[in-house]
Amino acid sequence: MNLRAVRAIYAFEMARTGRTMLQSIVSPVVSTSLYFVVFGAAIGARIPEVEGVSYGAFIVPGLIMLMLLTQSVMNASFGIYFPRFTGTIYEILSAPISYFEVVLGYVGAAATKSVILGLVVLATSWLLIPLHIAHPVWMIAFLLLTAVSFSLFGFILGLWADGFEKLQVVPLLIITPLTFLGGTFYSINLLPPAWQTVALCNPVVYLISGFRWSFFETADVSVALSLAMTVLFLAVCLATVWVMFKTGYRLKK
């Protein structure tokens, strides 16, 4: 194991993040605060409790997930796409480093950043709304698992994309809608039965549900199912990356 290489890639990526940390932190804090003002305070005041939780608190896990998913995908995809675009990937390819180590460095850094942002959003929420976290350890576990899975997904996106448009379009047209429809702002139990079935095809539903359970012990689907689906998604991403690397897909000519 070339741990020095993993560390080098990780530190390189974290330094890149560090240079833009201020923007990276300010914008999620601002947008989260806006969501709270609009949905939590203004609209939420007229919404009764959802499954025994005040609406303002109810949306917190969903908002954190929204942030976690988009940031993970964007960071990881950009992290690997950019060296492909500029050509500096030649150095990674010529280094004595396994594909697993490459993934570890890039995905680890992307996941770290989104976990930090997730915690920042959580802290912001804390200031705005009374919150009680029932299962902090599970909360962190879901946070990490989701950050890693979607950073991997972003990594795949960054390998597959052959232009900046695709990098932007996937988070915008796939991740954000799935998150909104996945129960960020509502419990899918509130949907008509037919739509509930449709909603269950959305992997994000399981993430948000499990994450929300760790806060309030209320969930749309069982926690075990949430966990299983998250791990399954992680496994699918890992397998995809493995195949891509094995075949040198879009990396080696």
Partner 1 sequence: MQPILSVTNVSKTYASGFRALEHVNLDIRRGEIFALLGPNGAGKTTLISIICGIVTLSEGTVSVAGYDIGRDYRKTRSMIGLVPQELTTDAFETVWATVSFSRGLFGKPRNDAYVEKVLKELSLWDKKDNKIMTLSGGMKRRVLIAKALAHEPQILFLDEPTAGVDVELRQDMWDIVRALRAEGVTIILTTHYIDEAEEMADRIGVMHKGEIILVEDKAELMRKLGKKQLTLHLQKRLEAIPEALAAHRLTLAPGGGEIIYTYDTQGERTGITALLKDLNLAGIRFRDLHTTQSSLEDIFVDLVRQRR
Nearer to partner 1, 25 or 95 (CB): 95
Lookup: tokens for 167:
């990098």
Nearer to partner 1, 97 or 175 (CB): 97
Shortest Å, Cβ 78 to partner 1: 13
Do 75 and 20 meet the contact criterion of CB atoms below 8 Å apart? Answer: no
Shortest Å, Cβ 102 to partner 1: 10
Interface with partner 1 (CB under 8 A): 2, 4-5, 7-9, 11-12, 15-16, 19, 86-88, 90-98, 248, 252-253
Query: Could you tell me the end-to-end alpha-carbon distance of the chain, in angstroms, rounded to an integer?
Result: 25
- Amino acid identity at 75: N
Shortest Å, Cβ 110 to partner 1: 17
Q: Which of 65, 77, 49 is nearest to 176 (CA)?
A: 65
| Inter-CA distances, 123 with 116, 130, 246, Å | 10, 11, 41
Per the listing, tokens 């095809």 go with 201
Phi-psi region of 216 (alpha: psi -120 to 50; beta: other; left: phi over 0): alpha
Nearer to partner 1, 197 or 247 (CB): 247
Nearer to partner 1, 95 or 133 (CB): 95
Nearer to partner 1, 95 or 234 (CB): 95
Shortest Å, Cβ 169 to partner 1: 24
- Amino acid identity at 250: R
Shortest Å, Cβ 213 to partner 1: 41
Shortest Å, Cβ 104 to partner 1: 13
Number of Cα atoms under 13 Å in the Cβ half of residue 180: 7
Nearer to partner 1, 96 or 193 (CB): 96
Shortest Å, Cβ 29 to partner 1: 24
Nearer to partner 1, 46 or 246 (CB): 246
